Amino acid sequence: MYNAGHYDVIVVGAGHAGVEAAHAAVKRGAKTLMLSLNLDMIAFMPCNPSIGGPAKGVVVREIDALGGLMGKVIDKTYIQMRMLNTGKGPAVRALRAQADKPLYIQEMKYQLEQLDNLTMRQAMVEELIVEDGEVKGVLTETKAAYYAKSVIITTGTFMRGRVIIGDVSYESGPNNQRASIKLAENLESLGFDIVRFKTGTPPRVNSRSIDYSKTEIQPGDDNPRHFSYETTEMIVDQIPCWLTYTTEETHEIINENLGLSAMYSGMIKGTGPRYCPSIEDKVVRFHDKPRHQIFLEPEGRDTEEVYVQGFSTSLPEFVQHKMLRSIPGLEEAEIMRSGYAIEYDAVVPTQLWPTLEVKSISGLYTAGQINGTSGYEEAAGQGLMAGINAAAHALSLETLILDRSQAYIGVLIDDLVTKGTNEPYRLLTSRAEYRLLLRHDNADLRLTKLGHDLGLISNERYESFEQKLAAIEDEQKRLSKIVIKPNDELNAILQEIGETDLKEPLKALELMKRPKVTYDVIERILEEDSSLDIDVKEQVEIQVKYEGYITKSRQQVDRMKKMENKVIPEDIDYSAISGLATEARQKLEKVRPLSVGQASRISGVNPADVSILLVYIEQGQIKRLSEDER
């Protein structure tokens, strides 16, 4: 073993969580080391070649507003961009990009290489160095000992990873990378609570073997929008995806071979996510559905590999061939990589503080799929937060915890550390109780100032943000002064868009509250062609149109905040509080919530327990745990 150097922060892993963690730590001024198994696979996407979508797309924007990388990199490397849910309310609109996978890796690596304070090194970490409940560094397979004040583990699905294809199974990380065995064993011996999860991926086929004439085209948007608030140039040359369907024949093949599926033969023990069922799952559970959608998504510009979305499977390879070839357009399909399921270790996330620091080991953080989540964006969001807080720990800076009303990232982490998860956790818009406030269009309004305060957002960007704020305010003021008078021309426009006539004069701002009167319609009525940025117009329109609902949500948040502001000391001794129900006490001891608000979200902690807790804290004489009880 040799001493390989001292750092402020060490990040183990360079997946979506790892890269954001390393980047954020560096931005906060930490001397950072990032260790990963294979530097050609930085921010590799082991599954679908896409980023964003409902809830997830908002996370990408939140990451960007806090200075992270994901948005910037995908804006430079997408092959297709679409705004989803445009026909619905503003809260659920979402951007989604099809990524050029190899290019995404290259661009991410390049971005990280530009950071002065970051060392990247290829290595297999085998052990953590922990002394007296404090992390000191890591040991690698090649006997290097790296030391640091904070360590972040972001090892994704590699921990004791096991790939399963039919009755074939072998130790492996995703895409035949090496599995991380020793580190997983080390975590177990350090006393971590571990669960076994699983996920899966569909086969990839060669584009040249696909007959696209039998499929439907799915093009990108004509005017692509971008994720990053810094992006100014858009890629206009986009590549389409294609849609086809499974057939009765596919389902027959699946049914005939179900016994060979690893899932049904009982070979897989891990818990899989319900929202990503394999095709065999879908056919079994929804057996009366005659067909399932299959999207064909290119993996990049300069590759012929195509991802078969909707066809995740762990059936034997020969069955996969047969199944694929029963799908219109894929009759001649050549598989390049087979679909597979993967089982892996995850840590039970209630072992973490909301900063993502491990409760039992000071200075140690975990982020990403290792915390029981699934998805690139979920991983990246956690990585960013862990990076911010690990740097804070190392450099004695302020930590950051986002609450449920501030960001989807806040919802995600709060859910994880408060409730835990019994399946790989994916963000959904319905997980957010204030989703009207957590829109993708206002991520910058919510978070840029925070990002700037923490040193993650440059002064230059912050200035332009302030200008945007001012522009929004000015425009609202302006429109609240303009009075629109009813006349034939105006009413003709209103009729045209399906609105009723205007009878009395009305302020422009008020008129915009009508459902079909958009900002563009107001512009038309006023016969102006404002030079305002599209983001500004959008913001004015949303804030005006949905004012009632937004106010209602804000009031809810205010109420929640009262309980959120009642702090519970970290070392409170719950056994000293008489009257708590036994179940509540056990849950509280495990989760150790930091506020009464968080306590009230733990399942098994009832309102009466919350009341009792509140009274106990309020009386001021709080009994604390002694050092060794913690």
Instruction: By CB under 6 A, name the one of 50, 80, 150, 157 that touches ligand FAD.
Output: 157
122-154: buried (b, 16+ CB within 10 Å) or exposed (e) per residue?
A: ebbbbbbebeeeebbbbbbeeebbbbbbbbbbb
Q: Is 411 in the site for other proteins (CB under 8 A)?
A: no
d(CA 353, CA 586): 17
Q: Which residue has the tokens 């925070």?
A: 450
Q: Does the protein bind ligand FAD through residue 374 (CB under 6 A)?
A: yes
State whether the Cα torsion 355-361-362-368 is positive or negative.
negative
442 touches 65 (CB < 8 A) = no
Q: Taking Cα atoms as reference points, which of 68, 626, 57, 155 lies closest to residue 364?
A: 155
SS3 per residue for 51-70: EECCCHHHHHHHHHHCCCCH
User: Which of 55, 139, 163, 327 lies at the binding interface for other proteins (CB under 8 A)?
Assistant: 55
Minimum distance, C-beta of residue 548 to other proteins, in the bound complex (Å): 9
**Residue 36 binding result from ligand FAD, other proteins, none, given CB thresholds of 5 to 8 Å by partner type:** ligand FAD
For other proteins, which stretch binds (CB under 8 A), given 291-299, 360-368, 458-466, 522-530? 291-299
| Segment lying near ligand FAD (by CB under 6 A), choices 369-377, 409-417, 580-588, 599-607 | 369-377
Q: Does 434 bind ligand FAD (CB under 6 A)?
A: no
- Contact between 615 and other proteins by CB under 8 A: the answer reads yes
What is the distance between the alpha carbons of residues 68 and 440, in angstroms, rounded to a whole number? 15
CA 36/CA 42 separation, integer angstroms:
8
Q: Which of 46, 57, 166, 349 binds ligand FAD (CB under 6 A)?
A: 46
472 binds, among other proteins, ligand FAD, none (CB under 5 to 8 A by kind): none
- Amino acid letter, 32: T
Single out the segment in contact with other proteins by CB under 8 A; choices: 363-371, 393-401, 454-462, 546-554. Answer: 546-554
Indicate the length of the chain as a whole number: 630
275 binding other proteins? (CB under 8 A): yes
Among 376, 425, 546, 616, the residue binding ligand FAD under the rule CB under 6 A is 376
Distance CA 479, CA 557 (A): 28
Stretch 533-592 residues interacting with ligand FAD (CB under 6 A): none
Q: How far apart are CA 612 and CA 621, in angstroms?
A: 14
Residue 29 contact, options ligand FAD, other proteins, none, Cβ 5-8 Å cut-off depending on partner type:
none
Q: Which residue has the tokens 């499929």?
A: 215
286 binds other proteins (CB under 8 A): yes
462 labelled binding-site residue = no
Decide if 74 contacts 97 (C-beta within 8 A): yes
Out of 6, 143, 274, 630, point to the residue binding other proteins (CB under 8 A).
274
Q: Does 276 bind other proteins (CB under 8 A)?
A: yes
Report how far residue 353's alpha carbon sits from residue 303's, in angstroms, rounded to the nearest whole number.
43
**Residue 497 near other proteins by CB under 8 A:** no
180 is in an annotated binding site: yes
Among 64, 75, 281, 343, binds other proteins (CB under 8 A): 281
Interacting partner of 85 out of ligand FAD, other proteins, none (Cβ under 5 to 8 A depending on kind): other proteins
Hey, what are 602's tokens? 């733990």
277 interacts with other proteins by CB under 8 A: yes
DSSP 6-29: EEEEEEE--SHHHHHHHHHHHHTT
Q: Is 280 annotated as a binding residue?
A: yes
Q: Of these, 369, 389, 406, 553, which contacts ligand FAD (CB under 6 A)?
A: 369
Rounded to 5°, the CA angle 454-459-465 comes to 95
Burial class (CB in 10 A: 0-12, 13-18, 19+), 248: exposed
* Per CB under 8 A, 296 contacts other proteins: no
Q: Of 266 and 515, which CB lies nearer to other proteins in the complex structure?
A: 515
Query: Which x/- pattern over 302-321 shows residues binding other proteins (rule: CB under 8 A)?
Result: -------xx-x---------
In the beta sheet, which residues pair with residue 343? Answer: 162, 198
- For residues 591 and 583, the answer to whether their CB atoms sit within 8 Å is no
Q: Comparing C-alpha atoms, which of 522, 524, 577 is closest to residue 545?
A: 522
Q: Is 47 annotated as a binding residue?
A: no
- Quick one: which of 527, 620, 627, 628 contacts other proteins (CB under 8 A)? 620
Q: Is 375 in the site for ligand FAD (CB under 6 A)?
A: yes
Q: Name the nearest CA neighbour of 63 among 107, 27, 14, 10.
A: 27
Q: Mark the segment that binds other proteins (CB under 8 A) among 148-156, 320-328, 475-483, 617-625.
A: 617-625
- Are 150 and 135 a contacting pair, CB within 8 Å? yes
How many residues bind other proteins, per CB under 8 A?
63
**Residue ranges in contact with ligand FAD by CB under 6 A:** 12-18, 35-38, 46-48, 124-125, 154-158, 174, 180, 183, 199-201, 276, 342, 368-369, 374-376, 379
- Binding-site positions for FAD read 13-18, 125, 180, 369
**Residue ranges in contact with other proteins by CB under 8 A:** 47-48, 54-55, 84-85, 88-92, 202, 274-279, 281-282, 285-286, 289, 292-293, 295, 309-310, 312, 428-431, 435-436, 515-516, 546, 549, 552-553, 559, 562-563, 577-579, 581, 600, 603, 606-608, 610-612, 614-616, 618-621
